[in-house]
A and B are shown apart, each in its own frame.
Chain A
Amino acid sequence: MRRVVVSGIGVICGLGRNREEFQAGLREGRCGIGPITTTDCLDLRFRNGAEVKCFDPNDHFSPKEADMIDRFAQFALVAAREAVLQSGIEWTRDLRENAAIVTGSCVGGQSTENQGFWDVYKMGKPRVHPMTIPKTMANAGASAISQEFGITGPAFTISTACSSSAHAIGQAFSMVRSGMSDVAITGGSEAPFSYGILKAWEAMRVISPTLCRPFSKDRNGMILGEGAAMLVIESLDHALARGAKPVAEIAGFGMSSDAHHITQPSAEGAAKAVRMALKDAGIGPGEIGYINAHGTGTTVNDTTETCALHLAFGDHARRLAISSTKAMHGHTLGAAGAIESAATILALSTGILPPTIHFNERDPECDLDYIPNCPRRADIEYALSNSFAFGGLNAVLALRRI
Chain B
Amino acid sequence: MPDLMQTDDLTPRVLRIIAETQRKDPSQVTIDSSFEELGIDSMDGINIIFALENEFNINVPDDDVKSIRSVRDVVEGVIRLVELSKAVGGAQSGAPGESAPAAS
Contact = CB atoms under 8 A, between A and B. Distances in A.
Interface stretch (B21-29, B73-81, B95-103): B95-103
Interface band, chain A? 20 to 34
Interface in B27-61: 41-43, 46, 50, 61
Given A203-B46, A205-B62, A264-B43, A43 B102 contact: no
Interface SS of chain A: loop
B94 interface: yes
A193 B41 contact: no
A156 interface: no
Nearest to B45: A205
Contacts, number: 56
A224 to B, nearest CB: 13
Interface stretch (A110-118, A177-185, A239-247, A330-338): A110-118
A205 B100 contact: no
A114 B43 contact: no
B46 A39 contact: no
B103 A114 contact: yes
Contact of A195 (B42, B46, B61, B100): B100
Interface band, chain B? 10 to 19
B91 interface: no
A193 B46 contact: no
B10 interface: no
Most chain A CB neighbours (cut-off 10 Å) among B42, B94, B96, B102: B102
B43 A263 contact: yes
B62 A209 contact: yes
A21 interface: no
A40 interface: yes
B103 A38 contact: yes
Given A114-B103, A193-B103, A205-B62, A122 B46 contact: no
A195 B103 contact: yes
Contacts of B4: none
Interface string A272-299: 0000000000000000000000000001
B27 to A, nearest CB: 27
Given A194-B102, A205-B46, A122 B97 contact: yes
B104 interface: yes
A199 B95 CA distance: 11
A45 interface: yes
Given A122-B97, A209-B62, A38 B104 contact: yes
Given A203-B50, A205-B65, A264-B41, A43 B100 contact: yes
Contacts of A221: 62
Nearest to B104: A38
Interface in A291-344: 299-300
Contact of A42 (B46, B99, B104): B99
Contacts of A193: 103
9 contacts: A40-B100, A43-B99, A115-B103, A122-B102, A195-B97, A195-B102, A196-B97, A203-B46, A299-B66
Q: Which 3 A-B pairs have the closest CB atoms?
A: A118-B102, A194-B103, A40-B100
Interface of A: 38-43, 45, 111, 114-115, 118, 122, 193-196, 199, 203-205, 209, 220-221, 261-264, 299-300
